[in-house]
Chains A and B, each alone.
Chain A
Amino acid sequence: MPGQLPDGDAVPADGALPDGTALTGRGFGVYVHVPFCASRCGYCDFNTYTAAELGGGASRDQYADTVLAELALARRIVNPPRVDTVFFGGGTPTLLDPDDLGRILEAIDRTWGLAGDAEVTTEANPESVTPESLRRLRKAGFTRISLGMQSAALGVLAVLDRKHTPGRARAAAREAREAGFDHVNLDLIYGTPGESVDDFAASLAAAVGAGVDHVSAYALIVEDGTRLATRMRRGELPYPSDDVAADRYLAAEAALGAAGFSWYEVSNWATSEAARCRHNLLYWTGGDWWGLGPGAHSHVGGVRWWNVKHPSAYASRLADGHSPGHAREVLTATDRHVEDVMLRLRLSSGLPLSALDAAGREAAAHAVKDGLLEERDDRLVLTLRGRLLADAVVRDLLP
């Protein structure tokens, strides 16, 4: 079951932004949400639907055209100098034909112009790509691919309801590099019930051995309303333990560090500065982006909004010539400050001391003394232990 959207203010039918809203100038990205999956993984509450769940109404075949309709509306509202990053996420974008994905990308280029060095990523499930589809994606202009590997252990993949074999992610990563992708990411999930120390070590070794330049490692989150949550509530599976998650995180840091990766965000490691995901960095540093697709979130100059969640509601809004925006919020100065601290502190580049008030600095000094933060060139950066307690540190730094 997809999770809930936040509450917010109404979005006008034409999608117009409040008067005076201006791009921040910190770069512009486009996110394209593709809300389809072949089957739903038990832990997942993303806004995605299997063919059976969708029923009639919104079909995959027409999806690209619907997105283009939103893009046409977007063009009347914002006018960025160029598009620096594009990210196709899901769901499983690669359930759509590479031609469809290419068509959307081309339209984005036509609308706002892709920067020469634009980063263009797609997420993909390992079993949803082939050497051929990867070559076509590359040709269509994709520069980066992010594969949901999750684990190299058969038992763990089974608990997670993953449909691919342990070796498939690694093979797909190799195929992607052969197809000409410079940047390949593998997603890992740790702390799954039943996952042993060795299982996770093997997953890390497999990811590193796949020759990728980026790894994301996420702690398994039991989201309300998912099948996983139900199974745990019934006692069929134990709840994940925070202590185990902490051990796994340290193992990830050790193994990835040894293989030449360094962290640049709490859950993300890359082999070089160039390998970092620029699109995600744009989210975390307050850049502007337009999110296309049902449930997609956008941010322009301090206004955040999000589209209606269901693909058919999304399609019918656009068919009526209305903005698919479901709700929005105009960030106050306080909101911005909270977000700034919350997001930047998670980055290896850290939070400038100047972003904090006196009380915040005092709290920071405490955190430094407790070994949770380090002060480097007037910036506060989480220590390894601090990364594991990042939310607590953020709460302490905020009023």
Chain B
Amino acid sequence: MPPVTANSPGATDPGRIRNFCIIAHIDHGKSTLADRMLQLTGVVDARQMRAQYLDRMDIERERGITIKSQAVRMPWTVREGDQVGDQAVLNMIDTPGHVDFTYEVSRSLAACEGAVLLVDAAQGIEAQTLANLYLALENDLHVIPVLNKIDLPAAQPEKYAEELAHLIGCQPEDCLRVSGKTGEGVPHLLDEIVRQFQPPTGDADAPARAMIFDSVYDVYRGVVTYVRVIDGRIEARDRIKMMSTGAVHELLELGVISPEMEKAQALGVGEVGYLITGVKDVRQSRVGDTVTINIRPAKEALGGYKDPKPMVYSGLYPIDGSDYPGLRDALDKLKLNDAALGYEPETSAALGFGFRCGFLGLLHLEIIQERLEREFGLDLISTAPNVVYRVIMEDGAEHTVTNPSEYPTGKVAEVYEPVVRATVLTPNDFVGAVMELCQGRRGTLLGMDYLSADRVELRYTLPLAEIIYDFFDQLKSRTKGYASLDYEPSGEQKADLVKVDILLHGEAVDAFSAIVHKDKAYNYGVTIAAKLRNLIPRQQFEVPIQAAIGNRVIARETIRAIRKDVLAKCYGGDITRKRKLLEKQKEGKKRMKMVGRVEVPQEAFIAALSTSDSPDAGKGGKK
């Protein structure tokens, strides 16, 4: 337990509490700074110090991203200034750093009164940070701009202080300068957190209301729910109620993190901590939901709760069909800790048995796929990701299409596709290249601002479908890696979309059906048809490969018939060798997937799918 007894959980004067988060781009030093704070506040001593204490999941650490947020309670006695000697309780709430988790970020921000905007003094602000900054400002958070890594010779604090001042509307002198590495300026930052950020306000006598800003499944403890108490008080023996569903749970334990879980008697107004109820699925304890007490429930939930809605779908198939049950079990496990992950069984003629999975975005997809492969040892093939379409038929019927091969037949009146509001930060020199890219992806320019003399912020509305296809790679390659991207869903738009089918010997191959813009249909058809022609071995008969919109063929390739398939050599009496060769060939034939009468090695489908431009937009948060 921290030595500050007056500040025990459940008994802390809200006036002492400061709830804040750190907004930073990947690698700008958030973890290092957080570690430094843990050390300075005495919560972790140098010996216990594990690098990047707050990032717990391996993948996160390797990829340098934070998926799940957590909160640490730190005591701090102000060292300088007019409040010197004041004892404060700081709750540092970690925000997820990525575009796919905007909703979770917004809930983390909603649990805070202030945000530290941390910017690498040698790099300047990036699109990701900008987006989160706007989110913080929208949530009425007070922002302290901080330039980090000032120990670096390449640091240009003057330049970037100007930029930040321009963005936030403060003076360049208001930007604090720290080094998470050396610790310089960090105590001052902690003092300023106490000085500048507002303490939480709430009605201690009102029925309890606490907002869930994170929910994590733990094998030993079940779901651990992180909350910020707004009004009232939650006691260790209460029965709590989830306001979105009305479900009531017995509380097994509550407490705070400092930096390990510490049991407590209660959590009061403004406090941040965890609840454990024994539920086993994060869906029963959803981010954004309001927790109240069953015997004296609040009347109104806190605002802002949303059901996580998948934005991107992809079919996941085990390369070895016998792994199918393993894949199902693995998804069931991951789902416990991921309220946004959805999936249902799907059968593909080309790929066999698998699951159509819904994700928040491409990064989410990638993370899940990577965890399935790494933690569960599965070899997977995924179909090209697609967005969700709303199709309205001439007879007024409406369909939600999450799989292109289920696009309705018949007379389509209108099709709607999801769009995003994208922010691109780029050096001045590449503005033309970025605009060209966005134009080519059916983007509409919303606005453009100079952050400084040589850095430009471009805002676009873009179809989500255009972003999940190779956009981020293109952006990076056209700007020599300098541009950064962020985006958030912003509704839908009517679009001229068509479904392109790829037919092999007259049979549609489900895995390659795609919904694309009318102007891009031809290109898609030609590309896939050519790829398949090179990948599918010649058959005993000629095999046409066609790309078609409905009955109209828009592109065609032909796999010529194989003319010779016979061992015409003198093999004498070695019949055994010939028979073994035949048996091997027959084994190979058994592994073929049949599309009508066409034998296609699964590798051909895999190659056709995976050589397609990889879904990389999801790495938007990475350098």
Cα–Cα distance between A289 and B579 once the two chains are bound (Å)? 18
B567 touches A221 (CB 8 A): yes
- Which one of A246, A298, A395 contacts B585 once the chains associate, using CB atoms below 8 Å? A395
A8 touches B570 (CB 8 A): no
User: Which residues on A sit within 8 Å (CB–CB) of B586?
Assistant: 395, 398
- Which one of A216, A249, A298, A342 contacts B564 once the chains associate, using CB atoms below 8 Å? A249
User: Which residues on A sit within 8 Å (CB–CB) of B579?
Assistant: 335, 338-339, 342
User: Which residues on A sit within 8 Å (CB–CB) of B568?
Assistant: 217-219, 245, 249, 266-267
Q: Which of A14-22, A94-102, A152-160, A383-391 contacts B (4 or more CB under 8 A)?
A: A383-391
Q: Mark A135-171, 1 if CB is under 8 A from B, else 0.
A: 0000000000000000000000000000000000000
B168 in the interface (beta carbon within 8 A): no
B562 in the interface (beta carbon within 8 A): yes
A391 touches B572 (CB 8 A): no
Interface CB pairs A-B, < 8 A, 8: A219-B568, A242-B563, A246-B564, A267-B568, A296-B573, A339-B575, A398-B582, A398-B586
B575 touches A343 (CB 8 A): yes
Cα–Cα distance between A246 and B562 once the two chains are bound (Å)? 10
A342 touches B574 (CB 8 A): no
The interface of chain A, by Cβ under 8 A from chain B, is 5-6, 8, 31, 89, 187, 216-219, 221, 242-243, 245-246, 249, 266-267, 283, 289, 291, 296-299, 304, 306, 329, 335, 338-339, 342-343, 370, 372, 387-392, 394-395, 398
User: Which residues on A sit within 8 Å (CB–CB) of B566?
Assistant: 266, 387-392
| Chain B nearest CB, measured from A92 CB (Å) | 14
Cα–Cα distance between A5 and B540 once the two chains are bound (Å)? 31
Cα–Cα distance between A379 and B189 once the two chains are bound (Å)? 93
A392 touches B570 (CB 8 A): no
With both beta carbons as reference points, the residue of chain B lying nearest to A390 in the complex is identified as B566
User: Which residues on B sit within 8 Å (CB–CB) of A249?
Assistant: 564, 568
A338 touches B572 (CB 8 A): no
- Residue from the set B541, B568, B579 with the largest chain A CB neighbour count within 10 Å: B568
The 4 closest A-B pairs by CB, nearest first: A297-B573, A246-B563, A390-B566, A242-B564
B580 in the interface (beta carbon within 8 A): yes
A388 touches B574 (CB 8 A): no
B575 touches A283 (CB 8 A): yes
| Chain B nearest CB, measured from A255 CB (Å) | 16
Give B519-574 interface residues, CB cut-off 8 Å to A.
540-541, 562-570, 572-574
A370 touches B540 (CB 8 A): yes
User: Which residues on B sit within 8 Å (CB–CB) of A291?
Assistant: 573
| Chain B nearest CB, measured from A294 CB (Å) | 13
| Chain A nearest CB, measured from B444 CB (Å) | 52
B47 in the interface (beta carbon within 8 A): no
User: Which residues on B sit within 8 Å (CB–CB) of A342?
Assistant: 578-579, 582
B611 in the interface (beta carbon within 8 A): no
User: Which residues on B sit within 8 Å (CB–CB) of A245?
Assistant: 564, 568
Cα–Cα distance between A243 and B538 once the two chains are bound (Å)? 11
A219 touches B563 (CB 8 A): no
User: Which residues on A sit within 8 Å (CB–CB) of B578?
Assistant: 342
Chain A interface, >50% SS class: mixed
A338 touches B583 (CB 8 A): yes
B576 touches A216 (CB 8 A): no
B577 in the interface (beta carbon within 8 A): yes
Q: Mark B577-596, 1 if CB is under 8 A from A, else 0.
A: 11110110110010000000
| Chain B nearest CB, measured from A97 CB (Å) | 24
User: Which residues on B sit within 8 Å (CB–CB) of A289?
Assistant: 573
Cα–Cα distance between A370 and B579 once the two chains are bound (Å)? 25
B589 touches A298 (CB 8 A): no
B575 touches A297 (CB 8 A): yes
A6 touches B569 (CB 8 A): no
Cα–Cα distance between A291 and B573 once the two chains are bound (Å)? 8
A221 touches B564 (CB 8 A): no
The interface of chain B, by Cβ under 8 A from chain A, is 540-541, 562-570, 572-580, 582-583, 585-586, 589
A219 touches B574 (CB 8 A): no
| Chain A nearest CB, measured from B18 CB (Å) | 70
**New A-B pairs, 18, CB < 8 Å, besides A243-B563, A389-B563:** A31-B572, A218-B569, A218-B570, A221-B569, A242-B562, A242-B563, A246-B563, A266-B566, A267-B570, A297-B572, A297-B574, A304-B576, A338-B582, A339-B575, A388-B566, A390-B566, A395-B582, A395-B585
B576 touches A388 (CB 8 A): no
A391 touches B573 (CB 8 A): no
Cα–Cα distance between A343 and B583 once the two chains are bound (Å)? 14
With both beta carbons as reference points, the residue of chain B lying nearest to A218 in the complex is identified as B569
User: Which residues on A sit within 8 Å (CB–CB) of B582?
Assistant: 338, 342, 391, 394-395, 398
- Which one of A242, A329, A395 contacts B576 once the chains associate, using CB atoms below 8 Å? A329
User: Which residues on B sit within 8 Å (CB–CB) of A8?
Assistant: 576
B576 touches A391 (CB 8 A): no
> Are A299 and B567 CB-contacts (below 8 A) given A338-B582, A338-B583?
no
With both beta carbons as reference points, the residue of chain B lying nearest to A387 in the complex is identified as B566
Cα–Cα distance between A217 and B570 once the two chains are bound (Å)? 9
| Chain A nearest CB, measured from B498 CB (Å) | 36
Cα–Cα distance between A284 and B431 once the two chains are bound (Å)? 75
With both beta carbons as reference points, the residue of chain B lying nearest to A335 in the complex is identified as B579
> Are A391 and B575 CB-contacts (below 8 A) given A6-B580, A267-B570, A372-B540?
no
A306 touches B574 (CB 8 A): yes
A298 touches B573 (CB 8 A): yes
| Chain A nearest CB, measured from B537 CB (Å) | 11
Cα–Cα distance between A297 and B572 once the two chains are bound (Å)? 9
B575 touches A388 (CB 8 A): no
User: Which residues on A sit within 8 Å (CB–CB) of B562?
Assistant: 242, 389, 392
Cα–Cα distance between A31 and B563 once the two chains are bound (Å)? 34
A219 touches B572 (CB 8 A): no
With both beta carbons as reference points, the residue of chain A lying nearest to B580 in the complex is identified as A6
User: Which residues on B sit within 8 Å (CB–CB) of A266?
Assistant: 566, 568
User: Which residues on A sit within 8 Å (CB–CB) of B573?
Assistant: 31, 283, 289, 291, 296-299
| Chain A nearest CB, measured from B232 CB (Å) | 73
User: Which residues on A sit within 8 Å (CB–CB) of B574?
Assistant: 6, 297, 306
Cα–Cα distance between A39 and B564 once the two chains are bound (Å)? 31
With both beta carbons as reference points, the residue of chain B lying nearest to A399 in the complex is identified as B586
| Chain B nearest CB, measured from A37 CB (Å) | 15
Cα–Cα distance between A297 and B577 once the two chains are bound (Å)? 11
B541 touches A370 (CB 8 A): yes
| Chain A nearest CB, measured from B437 CB (Å) | 40
User: Which residues on A sit within 8 Å (CB–CB) of B572?
Assistant: 31, 89, 283, 297
User: Which residues on B sit within 8 Å (CB–CB) of A398?
Assistant: 582, 586
User: Which residues on B sit within 8 Å (CB–CB) of A389?
Assistant: 540, 562-566
- Which one of B565, B570, B577, B580 contacts A390 once the chains associate, using CB atoms below 8 Å? B565
- Residue from the set B567, B573, B574, B582 with the largest chain A CB neighbour count within 10 Å: B573
Cα–Cα distance between A332 and B568 once the two chains are bound (Å)? 26
Cα–Cα distance between A339 and B578 once the two chains are bound (Å)? 9
- Residue from the set A297, A329, A335, A343 with the largest chain B CB neighbour count within 10 Å: A297
With both beta carbons as reference points, the residue of chain A lying nearest to B586 in the complex is identified as A395
Cα–Cα distance between A292 and B303 once the two chains are bound (Å)? 92
Cα–Cα distance between A291 and B566 once the two chains are bound (Å)? 26
With both beta carbons as reference points, the residue of chain B lying nearest to A250 in the complex is identified as B563
With both beta carbons as reference points, the residue of chain A lying nearest to B574 in the complex is identified as A297
B570 touches A216 (CB 8 A): yes
Cα–Cα distance between A389 and B573 once the two chains are bound (Å)? 22
User: Which residues on A sit within 8 Å (CB–CB) of B569?
Assistant: 218-219, 221, 267
User: Which residues on B sit within 8 Å (CB–CB) of A6?
Assistant: 574, 576-577, 580
User: Which residues on B sit within 8 Å (CB–CB) of A283?
Assistant: 572-573, 575
| Chain B nearest CB, measured from A371 CB (Å) | 10
| Chain A nearest CB, measured from B394 CB (Å) | 43
Cα–Cα distance between A304 and B563 once the two chains are bound (Å)? 33
| Chain A nearest CB, measured from B559 CB (Å) | 13
Cα–Cα distance between A100 and B567 once the two chains are bound (Å)? 34
